[in-house]
């Protein structure tokens, strides 16, 4: 539009554009501390002549001002994918470290309450009895130290099985959260697509969708693919969980019952989507879910089996030697330890309560300590137990180092994301001042044009009257 009124229209467009720019800057400042918020920039587009020239007329203007062309979220798709990947790996390590660190604290080695010290005390009690086979106090001490050793093994076993029970519940909880997040993300896919087709700014919903995608990565190590229409597809270990506006369901179909108890089988996870289902490979799982599956499938059962092996070897050797001796009445000894063969460490207990039944003698009817001396050496499990504990401790230490390294890497990626998408108050202040001055200049232009029009309309033709 050419002429004075065209300039008024240009000034008005500048006022409108800069008002929007001020709104965007103020919204950025308001959300400076909002988690997951991505700063926006309003995009300007200069208005000029018609793109298609008229047949019998020409455009005589020099530009028609400015308009808002759109809203830009300051995101980088590659950086977003990197953030999700590094956070998924970090959550995996942190979950494993937290559980194993807690279990290591319960082992208590080296320490006065550990199995190692209980073994030393147990063997010393047999030595004391061998030196004084007629002492009831020494016999009672053997029973007491045996009970302490059994209790030390039982405590460790209980810690492991308790941790397994907690992690089964943890797995069910994580799977439930995955399904909720997947459903919400699919719904946002549909809403965002509908809004943007209608020309509505959906930046806030995109922020929410990115937060859900990040949470899914932390829960499962999920990866995100952006479709041509802008929707997110999410896959877990190569299996589709969300495709556009349709969300699948992740379920634990083996290893853990709905009440959190174990069914005795291996842990199996499946995703149901679009009428079909597919098994999720455990090796491809990451995040919390992947860590819990590995703990329940490998780490915790391995340590529990090691404890059972130690307890079984010790109890079998001591019982065999104890049956080779004779008690204070000259009767052949029975089992010193009682245990359930399916869970020796968790069920180990001293089988006798009467000190007179301790088979310390190697000769029937004689009060010698020959068998007590042999019992002090029976079941040399110290080395195997030490190897078990050392292996576990080494694994925990390695996990701590990997977690620290991954935390540093994730922090570095977070910093890069913050520089890209986070709100810089200094930058927003400058943007706000620029928009303010542009708004004032447009208003001044409007005033100037008003004075020009006043001269033209009210003063033209008054000369000589």
Do 69 and 84 fall into the same domain?
no
296 assigned to some structural domain: yes
266 assigned to some structural domain: no
Give residue 64's pLDDT band: very low, low, confident or very high (50, 70, 90).
Answer: confident
| pLDDT score for 167 | 97
Do 443 and 335 fall into the same domain?
no
| pLDDT score for 421 | 93
> For all residues of the chain together, what is the average pLDDT?
93
> Which DSSP category does 282 fall into?
G
Cα–Cα distance measured from residue 6 to residue 449, given in angstroms and rounded to the nearest whole number = 10
304 assigned to some structural domain: yes
Do 204 and 121 fall into the same domain?
yes
- Give the position of tokens 């996990």: 399
**How many domains, in total, are found in the chain?**
2
Do 132 and 222 fall into the same domain?
yes
Average pLDDT value for residue range 22-31: 95
Do 220 and 128 fall into the same domain?
yes
**Helical pair 77-107 and 287-294, crossing angle rounded to 10 deg:** 30
**Which CA distances in Å does 399 have to 152, 221, 283, 394?**
26, 18, 18, 8
Q: Can you give the length of the chain in residues?
A: 465
**Which CA distances in Å does 132 have to 139, 258, 360, 402?**
9, 57, 10, 54
- Above 90 in pLDDT, residue 60? no
Do 210 and 295 fall into the same domain?
yes
Percent of the chain residues topping a pLDDT of 90? 82
- Above 80 in pLDDT, residue 131? yes
| pLDDT score for 100 | 95
Average pLDDT value for residue range 398-426: 95
| pLDDT score for 301 | 96
Domain assignment of residue 225, given as a range: 77-231+282-421
CA atoms within 13 A on the CB side of 270: 11
DSSP labels, 204-270: HHHHHHHHHHHHHHHHH--EEEE-TTS-EEEEETTEEEEETTEE-EEEEEESB-TTS-B-SS--EEE
Give residue 458's pLDDT band: very low, low, confident or very high (50, 70, 90).
Answer: confident
371 assigned to some structural domain: yes
| pLDDT score for 3 | 65
Number of other residues whose CB lies within 10 A of the CB of residue 238: 10
Q: Which helix (H) or strand (E) holds 279?
A: strand 276-279
List the one residue out of 60, 107, 7, 116 whose CA is nearest residue 456.
7
Which pairing describes strands 268-273 and 249-254: parallel, antiparallel, or unpaired?
Answer: antiparallel
Give residue 137's pLDDT band: very low, low, confident or very high (50, 70, 90).
Answer: very high
| pLDDT score for 409 | 97
- List the beta strands (DSSP E) in 36-149: 40-47, 65-73
- Above 80 in pLDDT, residue 159? yes
20 assigned to some structural domain: yes
Give residue 134's pLDDT band: very low, low, confident or very high (50, 70, 90).
Answer: confident
Percent of the chain residues topping a pLDDT of 70? 96
Do 57 and 100 fall into the same domain?
no
- Above 70 in pLDDT, residue 463? no
Give residue 108's pLDDT band: very low, low, confident or very high (50, 70, 90).
Answer: confident
Q: Which helix (H) or strand (E) holds 277?
A: strand 276-279
Give residue 365's pLDDT band: very low, low, confident or very high (50, 70, 90).
Answer: confident
- Above 60 in pLDDT, residue 1? no
- Above 80 in pLDDT, residue 4? no
Do 87 and 168 fall into the same domain?
yes
List the one residue out of 168, 287, 203, 215 whose CA is nearest residue 27.
203
Give residue 112's pLDDT band: very low, low, confident or very high (50, 70, 90).
Answer: confident
Give residue 368's pLDDT band: very low, low, confident or very high (50, 70, 90).
Answer: confident
153 assigned to some structural domain: yes
Average pLDDT value for residue range 347-359: 95
Do 429 and 286 fall into the same domain?
no
Give residue 267's pLDDT band: very low, low, confident or very high (50, 70, 90).
Answer: very high
Structure tokens at 111: 């320490």
| pLDDT score for 460 | 80
| pLDDT score for 2 | 58
307 vs 52: which has the higher pLDDT:
307
Do 134 and 196 fall into the same domain?
yes
343 assigned to some structural domain: yes
Select the highest-mean-pLDDT range: 91-95, 377-381, 456-460: 91-95
Give residue 275's pLDDT band: very low, low, confident or very high (50, 70, 90).
Answer: confident
Give residue 444's pLDDT band: very low, low, confident or very high (50, 70, 90).
Answer: very high
DSSP labels, 290-312: HHHHHIIIIIHHHHHHHHHHHHH
Do 189 and 313 fall into the same domain?
yes
Contact between 277 and 293 under an 8 Å Cβ cutoff? The reply is: no
Do 14 and 114 fall into the same domain?
no
Q: Given 390, 405, 421, which residue is the final one in a domain?
A: 421
| pLDDT score for 367 | 78
Give residue 464's pLDDT band: very low, low, confident or very high (50, 70, 90).
Answer: low
Cα–Cα distance measured from residue 430 to residue 446, given in angstroms and rounded to the nearest whole number = 24
41 assigned to some structural domain: yes
Average pLDDT value for residue range 25-45: 94
Average pLDDT value for residue range 386-412: 95
């Amino acid at each position: 539009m050419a002429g004075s009124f065209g300039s008024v229209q240009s000034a008005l467009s500048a006022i409108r554009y800069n008002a929007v720019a001020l709104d965007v800057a103020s919204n950025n400042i308001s959300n400076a501390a909002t988690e997951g918020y991505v700063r926006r920039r309003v995009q300007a587009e200069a208005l000029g002549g018609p793109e298609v020239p008229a047949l019998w007329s020409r455009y005589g203007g020099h530009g028609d001002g400015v308009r808002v062309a759109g809203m830009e979220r300051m995101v980088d798709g590659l950086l977003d994918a990197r953030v999700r990947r590094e956070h998924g790996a970090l959550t995996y390590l942190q979950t494993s470290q937290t559980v194993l660190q807690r279990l290591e604290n319960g082992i208590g080695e080296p320490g006065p309450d550990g199995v190692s010290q209980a073994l030393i005390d147990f063997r010393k009690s047999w030595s004391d009895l061998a030196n004084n086979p007629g002492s009831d106090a020494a016999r009672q001490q053997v029973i007491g130290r045996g009970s302490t050793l059994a209790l030390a093994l039982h405590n460790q076993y209980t810690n492991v099985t308790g941790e397994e029970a907690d992690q089964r519940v943890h797995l069910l909880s994580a799977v439930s959260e995955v399904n909720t997040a997947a459903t919400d993300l699919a719904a946002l896919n549909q809403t965002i697509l509908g809004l943007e087709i209608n020309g509505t700014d959906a930046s806030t919903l995109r922020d929410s969708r990115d937060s859900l995608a990040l949470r899914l990565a932390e829960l499962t190590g999920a990866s995100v693919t952006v479709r041509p229409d802008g929707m997110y597809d999410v896959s877990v270990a190569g299996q589709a969980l969300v495709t556009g506006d349709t969300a699948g369901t992740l379920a634990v179909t083996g290893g853990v019952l709905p009440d959190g108890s174990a069914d005795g089988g291996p842990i199996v996870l499946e995703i149901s989507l679009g009428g079909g289902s597919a098994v999720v490979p455990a090796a491809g799982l990451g995040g919390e879910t992947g860590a819990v599956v590995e703990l329940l499938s490998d780490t915790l059962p391995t340590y529990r089996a090691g404890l059972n092996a130690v307890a079984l070897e010790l109890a079998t050797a001591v019982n065999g030697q104890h049956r080779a001796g004779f008690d204070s009445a000259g009767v052949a000894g029975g089992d010193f330890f009682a245990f359930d063969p399916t869970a020796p460490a968790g069920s180990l207990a001293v089988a006798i309560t009467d000190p007179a039944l301790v088979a310390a003698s190697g000769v029937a009817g004689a009060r010698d300590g020959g068998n007590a001396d042999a019992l002090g050496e029976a079941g040399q499990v110290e080395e195997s137990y030490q190897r078990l504990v050392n292996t576990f401790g080494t694994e925990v230490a390695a996990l701590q180092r990997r977690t620290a390294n991954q935390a540093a890497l994730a922090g570095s990626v977070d910093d890069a994301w913050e520089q890209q998408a986070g709100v810089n108050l200094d930058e927003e202040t400058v943007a706000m001042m620029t928009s303010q001055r542009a708004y004032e200049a447009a208003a001044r232009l409007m005033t100037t044009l008003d004075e020009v029009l006043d001269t033209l309309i009210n003063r033209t033709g008054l000369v000589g009257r």
